Amino acid sequence: MEKTLKADEVGQFLYDLNGKFFTIEFVKRTTGEVRKMTATTNYQSKLAGGEAAYDFGEKKLIPVWDLAKQAFRSIPLDSVLTINAKGDTYKIVKAGE
């Protein structure tokens, strides 16, 4: 079933999954390409270099564990297109759409 989710609710929605896996589709900031990733926000390890050099919230990013690459990645919250989680597909709706 397809549902909608407001763009400003994406970060909280992903954290509220409480570590459940999700598949997310978003536009990469660096290249503009659409990327699809299966990930989780539940990870035990810390970053290899210690703490991040920047504040994720300030840059509107969410840190996740990419299951396919077995590595940490950051997802830009402002360019998420869809999320598949809890048996549903959530289409992200920007303000004014």
Residues 6+ apart with CB under 8 A from 2: 88, 89, 90, 91
49: confidence class by pLDDT, cuts 50, 70, 90:
low
pLDDT in tens, 58-91: 899 999 999 999 988 999 999 999 999 999 999 9
Question: Poorest-confidence range of 3-12, 21-30, 38-47, 52-61?
Answer: 38-47
Residues 6+ apart with CB under 8 A from 77: 7, 10, 11, 60, 61, 62
User: DSSP assignment of 10-41, as one string?
Assistant: HHHHHHHTTT--EEEEEE-TTT--EEEEEEES
User: pTM of the predicted model, to two decimals?
Assistant: 0.87
